[in-house]
């Protein structure tokens, strides 16, 4: 387990001889300071970039963003089950998903 902060940690599990990285995250809520939000995403990018390219990972937790219903252009990272409109925090979720979109990381 690697705990980066109170908001993010990575747990590595060996499942059937393969390493699975479980990323637990708790993003700042919509009303929180912008500096805190930027720090959270920088931390998330750092944690995810440390997972080897052939490593699998799953992100769970409370990302505190609405990705919305629209998935045009981001079909590989958006399952289409969102509701309403994407908010600023949801943009952060989508940006992160697009940045780390790599079939080898999918479990």
Q: Residue 102's pLDDT is what?
A: 65
Is the overall model pTM greater than 0.85, yes or no? no
80 is written with which tokens?
Answer: 């289409």
Question: Which of the pair, 31 or 106, is modelled with greater confidence?
Answer: 31
Find how far residue 2's CA is from the centre of its chain. 16
pLDDT for 105 beyond 60 = no
Q: How confident is the model at residue 17 (pLDDT cuts 50, 70, 90)?
A: confident
pLDDT band (50, 70, 90) for residue 69: very high
Look at residue 32 in the predicted model and tell me its pLDDT: 87
Candidate CATH numbers 3.30.420.40, 3.60.10.10, 3.40.50.300, 3.40.605.10; the one for domain 2-105: 3.60.10.10
Segment 92-96 shows an average pLDDT of: 91
């Amino acid at each position: 387990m690697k705990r980066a902060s109170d908001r993010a940690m990575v747990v590595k599990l060996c499942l059937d001889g393969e390493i699975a990285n479980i990323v637990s995250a708790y993003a700042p809520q919509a009303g929180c300071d912008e500096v805190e939000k930027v720090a959270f995403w920088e931390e998330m990018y750092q944690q995810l970039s440390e997972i080897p390219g052939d490593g699998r990972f799953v992100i769970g937790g409370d990302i505190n963003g609405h990705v919305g219903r629209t998935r045009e252009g981001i079909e590989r990272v958006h399952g289409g089950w969102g509701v309403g409109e994407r908010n600023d925090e949801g943009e952060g979720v989508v940006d992160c998903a697009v940045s780390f979109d790599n079939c080898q990381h999918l479990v």
